[in-house]
């Protein structure tokens, strides 16, 4: 297998299918003019946006509300040197509508961190891209 054959671009539907399989991804944003990456659990909404639940007074909420950010999730197998990575790019907004907040409280993600009064953050899936790495171990 050539190096070119080892990578395959994923279409939007395949990216969404893979995102729905994993519970944790990484928010990529700017904090104090520097790049920052934060692992966080998430879920996908029916409209394909990424949903997070976090503390309302967190540095994350202050840094990303109303800003275009990236969200990345992946799954890799070191033994077979294979896996995939998906990146969602879009505007992050704190959910402020009381009815939507109540609905998400019942069906949205549950933070893995203990929260007293969590807020939901929605990342619009304006751009989605992904790549799959097919295992090349032992084929060289």
Q: What is the pLDDT of residue 116?
A: 77
Query: 3-state DSSP call for residue 16?
Result: helix
Cβ atoms 121, 65 nearer than 8 A: yes
Q: What is the pLDDT of residue 106?
A: 84
Q: What is the pLDDT of residue 93?
A: 96
Beta strands in the chain (DSSP E): 7-10, 24-31, 34-41, 43-44, 50-54, 68-77, 82-94, 119-123, 127-133
User: For the chain, what are the domain ranges?
Assistant: 3-133
Which residues are paired to 54 by β-bridges? 119
- pLDDT tens, residue order, the chain (140 aa): 455 567 899 999 999 999 999 999 999 999 989 999 999 999 999 999 999 999 988 899 999 999 999 999 999 999 999 999 999 999 999 999 999 988 988 887 888 777 778 899 999 999 999 999 987 665 44
Of the candidate CATH numbers 3.20.20.70, 3.40.50.2300, 2.30.110.10, 3.40.50.300, the domain formed by 3-133 belongs to 2.30.110.10
Measured in degrees and rounded to the nearest 5, phi and psi for residue 105 equal -60, -30
């Amino acid at each position: 297998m050539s190096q070119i054959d080892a990578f395959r671009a994923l279409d939007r539907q395949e990216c969404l299918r893979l995102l729905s399989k994993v519970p944790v991804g990484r928010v990529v944003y700017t904090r104090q003019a520097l790049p920052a990456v934060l692992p966080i659990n998430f879920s996908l909404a029916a409209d394909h946006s990424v949903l997070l639940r976090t503390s309302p007074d967190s540095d994350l909420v202050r840094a990303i509300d109303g800003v275009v950010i990236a969200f990345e999730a992946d799954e890799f197998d070191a033994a077979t040197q294979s896996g995939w990575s998906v990146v969602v790019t879009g505007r992050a907004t704190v959910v402020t509508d009381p009815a939507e907040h109540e609905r998400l409280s019942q069906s949205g993600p549950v933070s893995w961190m203990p929260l007293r009064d969590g807020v939901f953050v929605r990342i619009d899936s304006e751009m989605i891209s992904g790549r799959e790495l097919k295992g090349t171990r032992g084929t060289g």
